[in-house]
Structure 1
Amino acid sequence: MTIFAWFALVLWGLSYLLEQRLVWFDEKSQLLELGNNGELAQPLITELRNRGFSLSGSVFHISSESCNCNWRSAGHTSSVKRQVTESGGRNHNIDIDQFNELKRFVPATPAIIMFNKSSELIYLGPYADGAFCTTESSFVEALIPLVSMEEKAPEWINTVAKGCYCSV
């Protein structure tokens, strides 16, 4: 086997293994259904407030300790947390396995939920898509400045991302 053929085979194998791990964030369309029925934002807000959270300018980083995708998104998550703090927002870490009521709103991890200063939902979904969920494929960096604003922001429920996610 030539070096070129060996190299091509290795690249194909790596590509195949990475693609096998990619899944849809909202694989069962549960977020899509909640959003279409108007049963997402207000019940989510109520649930978080009932748990004692202040939503004003808050960003919730949702993870599952057992998710094998955490290592892929760790750098991106740290970067987002730093940017949220620098923009005047507050970060909250939630292990979804300790917060079963939230599973109805978050179909997979790692995930992020963002609210502006007026406690309005800005974004719910994954940080990014793709095999490594990095800043290059991020959905959230452009939304971070909205966290510290009081003006009405568009609400984005991201149901169409494909990447390394763990169903909850």
Structure 2
Amino acid sequence: MLTGLWWYKSRFIRPFSETTAVFSGQQLRLPDNLAGTGAIRFVHFWDPNCPCNVGNQQHLAEMLEHYAGEVEFYHLQKPGSNGQLPKALRSMQHLNELPGSQHLPASPAVAIWDRSGQLAYFGPYSEGAVCNSSNSFIDPILDALIDNRPVTAANTLAVGCFCDWQ
């Protein structure tokens, strides 16, 4: 039993350093071909070398399925990094760049634009070491935007599992 616990701990439990990140969306913009009115647009910022991505991948796959047809999903990979999204996330459209993303403090992160093209949310998926539907900031925001309720949360402060974007 102790061997099993040691194996699980060494393979799946990573040290969690409480990192505080300030997400400010003032300079973040959609590319010209996506800007303006249209669908709700969701951009996932990720670094394939960041172990913190593992914590939100299942939740992100669930959101892709749940919000299909109502939200357009995109992803932006950290410049200069190499890797591929897991198979369950490959339906997301790839962005080569996003104006203002060079100011992203950390990843994984998400930016959501409403139907009018206004940035509604910019920040982490949740607080803490992992993200799932029970502690996510994102699901209530998407639900509000789908119901045409306004959301303004483009500047956030969070403590969680993050990796530097710079």
Would the TM-score normalized by the shorter structure come out above 0.5?
yes
| Map of 2:122 onto structure 1 | 124
How do 1:70-109 residues align onto structure 2 when only pairs under 5 Å count?
70-86=53-69, 88-97=70-79, 99=97, 101-104=100-103, 106-109=104-107
How do 1:11-160 residues align onto structure 2 when only pairs under 5 Å count?
18-19=15-16, 21-26=17-22, 31=24, 40=26, 43-45=27-29, 48-50=30-32, 52-54=33-35, 56=38, 57-86=40-69, 88-97=70-79, 99=97, 101-104=100-103, 106-148=104-146, 153-160=150-157
Select the structure of larger CA radius of gyration.
1
How many positions carry a matched residue from both structures?
138
Structure 2 residue runs without a partner (length 5+) = 80-95
Higher strand share: 2
Identical amino acids, percent of aligned pairs: 21
Contact preservation (8 Å) 2:46, 2:77? yes
| Map of 1:3 onto structure 2 | none
Contact preservation (8 Å) 2:45, 2:77? yes
CA-CA distance at 1:158 after TM superposition: 4.7
Give me the TM-score of the superposition, normalised by structure 1. 0.68
CA distance in 2 between counterparts of 1:18 and 1:134 reads 19
- C-alpha RMSD of the superposition: 2.8
Give me the TM-score of the superposition, normalised by structure 2. 0.69
